[in-house]
Amino acid sequence: MKDNSVYQMLAQGLPCDQAKRLFHGRGGLFDGWQQVNIEIYPPVLWVIIYQQIDEQPLLALLEQLKASAATLAIEHIYIQRRFQAANPVQVFMGDESMLETDFKVSEAGLNYWVNLGKNQNSGLFLDMSAGRAWVREHSEGKSVLNLFSYTCSLGLAAAAGSARTVMNVDMAKAAIKRGQRNLALNDLGGRSVSFIAQDIFKMVKKINQRGPFDLLIADPPSFQSRAFDVRRDYQKLLEKFKPALAADATLVLCLNSPALGVDFMHGLVAKVLPEAAFVERLANPSVLADADENASLKVLIYKVGVKK
Ligand SMILES: C[S@@+](CC[C@H](N)C(=O)[O-])C[C@H]1O[C@@H](n2cnc3c(N)ncnc32)[C@H](O)[C@@H]1O
C-alpha cells in the first residue's frame, strides 16, 4: 500500500468529532506501516509507533496532515514511541496543552475521560467500539458482570443500554476511579452500577454471591505477569465464575492474543460450559481489517443453556 493511500484513509476519516481509530497498521495490510496505529481523540491526532522503524514516510505523512490541519480539525499531533522506555511522547504539531491532562471525548453518544501520555493507554480502547455497541444493544433489563473492566467502558455501554444492574471489576484502582468518573459524566440517572477494585480471583465468592448474572463480559489482557495469562487463566476464569451465571446467560468473551484463534476459546467453552452454544463473533470495524482475521481482536458471544 502506498503512503499516499494511508493519507487518503486518514483524510477520509477527518474531520471527526468522535474518538476513533483511523489507521490500523498493526493489522499488517500496509507494507512498512505494521508498527503504526493512528487515532483521533478530537482535537488530538494520536500516533503510536510500536517498534523502531524508518520514520521518514510517517513523518512526511504527518507533515501533509499538518498542512491541512485546519480543514481536518486537528489541533495537536502527538507521537508516542512504545519501543522506548516509559513511552515518551513527542509533540509534532500544536502544543503540550492536551498532554498528560484529562479531557473528554465521545463515542456513539457516550462520553469518556481520556488522558494521553500519562499512561501507556489513553483510558479508552478504541478497538473495542463494536463490543461496546453490541453490549449496549443487548443489556436491557439484564444484570451484567463486567470483568477486567479497566475504565468501565463496557459497563457504561451496558448502563446506557438500560441494564438492570452492572458490576465492574478491575484490580487497577485508578482505572476503577476513572470508571466512576465516566459514569458521572453521562446522564445515566439512577442506574444501579457498582465498582470493585480488586483482583477478580480474590473476589470469586463475593462476586458469585451477587449473581446470577444474565450477561458476563470478560476482556482480559493477553498477558499481565502474575495477574492474568490467557493460556493459563482463561479456563480458570470460566470455572470460577460459572456458578454466577443465570441459566440462560450470555457470555461476551474477548481474546486479544494474535497467537490464539477462535478455536482456543471454543475449546475452553466446550470443556467448562458444554451446554453453551457459540452465537457469533462480532465483526470488527472495517478500519481494523487484518491480514489474518484469526489474529485480530476476537469478541465472541456464547449462550448458556441452549445445547441439551
Ligand atoms: C484489556 S484491559 C480491559 C479493557 C476494558 N474491558 C475496556 O472496555 O476498556 C485489561 C484490564 O484487566 C485488568 N486485570 C488484569 N488482571 C486482572 C485480574 N486478575 N483481576 C482484575 N483485573 C485484572 C487490568 O488492570 C486492565 O485494566
The 10s digit of each residue's pLDDT in 14-37 is: 999 999 999 999 999 999 999 999
Centre of ligand 1 to C-alpha 74, Å, is: 31
242 inside domain: yes
Does residue 232 share a domain with residue 92?
no
**175 and 75 co-located in one domain:** no
130 lines ligand 1 (CB under 6 A): no
What pLDDT was estimated at residue 3? 65
Same-domain check for residues 37 and 186: no
* DSSP code per residue over 289-303: --SSTTTS-EEEEEE
pLDDT at 305: 87
Q: Which residue has the cell 494474535?
A: 258
Q: Which of 50, 81, 99 is where one domain is finished? A: 99
- In DSSP notation, 154-177 reads HHHHHHHTT-SEEEEEES-HHHHH
Tens of pLDDT, residues 244-259: 999 999 999 999 999 9
C-alpha cell at 280: 457469533
Q: Which three cell numbers stand for residue 97?
A: 496543552
Residue nearest to atom 26 of ligand 1 (CA): 150
Residues with Cβ < 8 Å from 67, sequence gap 6 or more? none
* Residue spans of alpha helices (H) in 79-151: 129-137
Beta-carbon neighbour count of residue 66 at 10 Å? 15
Let me know if residue 119 belongs to a domain: no
* Same-domain status, 78 and 139: no
Tell me, what's the pLDDT at 244?
Answer: 97
Domain of residue 220, residue span: 126-303
For the domain that residue 88 is a member of, what is the CATH number? 3.30.750.80
Which grid cell is 185? Answer: 459524566
Q: What is the arithmetic mean of pLDDT over 199-217? A: 98
CA 173–ligand 1 middle distance (angstroms)? 11
Count of structural domains within the chain: 2
Residues 157 and 278 in one domain: yes
Residue 191 has a pLDDT of: 76
The reply to whether ligand 1 has any atom less than 6 angstroms from the CB of 199 is yes
Q: At which of 80, 99, 118 does a domain end?
A: 99
The verdict on residue 154 lying in a domain is yes
Q: What is the CATH number for 201? A: 3.40.50.150
Angle at 222 between CA 164 and CA 276, to 5 degrees: 50
C-beta atoms surrounding 235 within 10 Å: 15
* Position 118 in a domain: no
Q: How far apart are CA 296 and CA 187, in angstroms?
A: 33
Average pLDDT of the segment spanning 220-239? 96
Specify the pLDDT at position 211: 96
Confidence of residue 198 (pLDDT cuts 50, 70, 90): very high
pLDDT band at 180 (very low <50, low <70, confident <90, very high): very high
pLDDT (tens digit per residue) in 121-137 = 999 999 999 999 999 99
pLDDT value at residue 278: 98
In the predicted structure, residue 308 carries a pLDDT above the cut 70: no
Our answer on whether the CB atom of 129 is closer than 6 Å to any ligand 1 atom is: no
Q: Are residues 176 and 252 in the same domain?
A: yes
Q: Is residue 27 part of a domain?
A: yes
Instruction: Indicate whether 188 pLDDT > 60.
Output: yes
Are residue 149 and residue 201 in the same domain, yes or no?
yes
Q: What is the mean pLDDT of the chain?
A: 96
What is the CA(152)–ligand 1 centre distance, in A?
Answer: 10
Q: What pTM value is reported for the model?
A: 0.96
Q: Is residue 116 situated within a structural domain?
A: no
Residues 142 and 261 in one domain: yes
Length of the chain: 308
Same domain, yes or no, for 95 and 130?
Answer: no
- The single-letter code of the amino acid at 288 is L
Contacts of 81 (CB under 8 A, 6+ apart): 49, 87, 88, 89, 90
Cβ atoms of 161 and 133 closer than 8 Å: no
237 with 156, same domain: the answer is yes
Whether 57 is in a domain gets the answer yes
Q: Which atom of ligand 1 is nearest to the CA of 155?
A: 8
On the question of pLDDT at 243 being above 90, the answer is: yes
Q: Is 121 in the pocket of ligand 1 (CB under 6 A)?
A: no
CA distance 308 to 272: 15
Average pLDDT over residues 63-68: 96
% pLDDT > 70, the chain? 98
| 76 and 133 share one domain | no
Whether residues 156 and 47 fall in one domain: no
For ligand 1, what atom is nearest to the CA of residue 201? 19
**Number of Cβ atoms within 10 Å of the Cβ of 55:** 14
In this predicted structure, the answer to whether residue 1 has a pLDDT above a threshold of 60 is no
Average pLDDT of span 208-224: 97
Residue range 97-111: average pLDDT? 98
Question: pLDDT tens, 148-176?
Answer: 999 999 999 999 999 999 999 999 999 99
Per-residue model confidence (pLDDT) at position 2: 56
Choosing from 107, 171, 299 the residue with most ligand 1 atoms within 8 A of its CB, the one to mutate for a pocket test is 171
Instruction: Inform me whether the pLDDT recorded for 140 exceeds 60.
Output: yes
**Interacting residues of 139 by C-beta distance below 8 A, sequence separation 6+:** 157, 158, 159, 161, 162, 163, 166, 215
Any domain includes 308: no
Q: Which residues contact 31 (CB under 8 A, 6 or more apart)?
A: 1
